[in-house]
Amino acid sequence: MNKKCNRCNKIKNINNFTKNKNNKDGYSYYCKDCTKKQQYLSGINKKYQSDDLVIIDLLQKQDIPIEGLDKEKVVNTTVSMIDLPNMIEPIWRLLPSFLIKYNFTYEEYQFFISQCKKNKFYIT
């Protein structure tokens, strides 16, 4: 037996849905994959401030990682000032290309910025 997920709109085997006795067919509206993704995103949403959520949404649409912090990698990275978002252009416009160029997650970017504010990094 198959069922269509109301989130991803894919038709999947009924085993890919959790049971929910409150629904007519006895299964949830969303597949297990979509449910897991939503739970993950809910956790991220609690971690970041509301203005970050717009940026996070933009980054997720481009498959750029949000979480993951390698402090050593960040500390050993030299960044060109011309690349640094928010110096010249609004952060939301340049941030994705910056993260890709320097292979940073959003969390690593936030750590980098916090260290810059403490004058712990040299920017060329």
pLDDT in tens, 87-119: 544 566 778 888 999 999 999 988 888 888 787
CB of 58 closer than 8 Å to CB of 66: no
Question: Which contacts of 30-35 are long-range, i.e. CB under 8 A and separated by 24 or more positions?
Answer: 30/5, 30/6, 31/5, 31/7, 33/8, 34/5, 34/7, 34/8
pLDDT in tens, 34-45: 888 887 767 666
CB-based contact 87:124 (threshold 8 Å): no
Q: Specify whether the CB–CB gap between 52 and 95 falls below 8 A.
A: no
Task: Report the distance separating Cα 84 and Cα 69, nearest Å.
Answer: 18
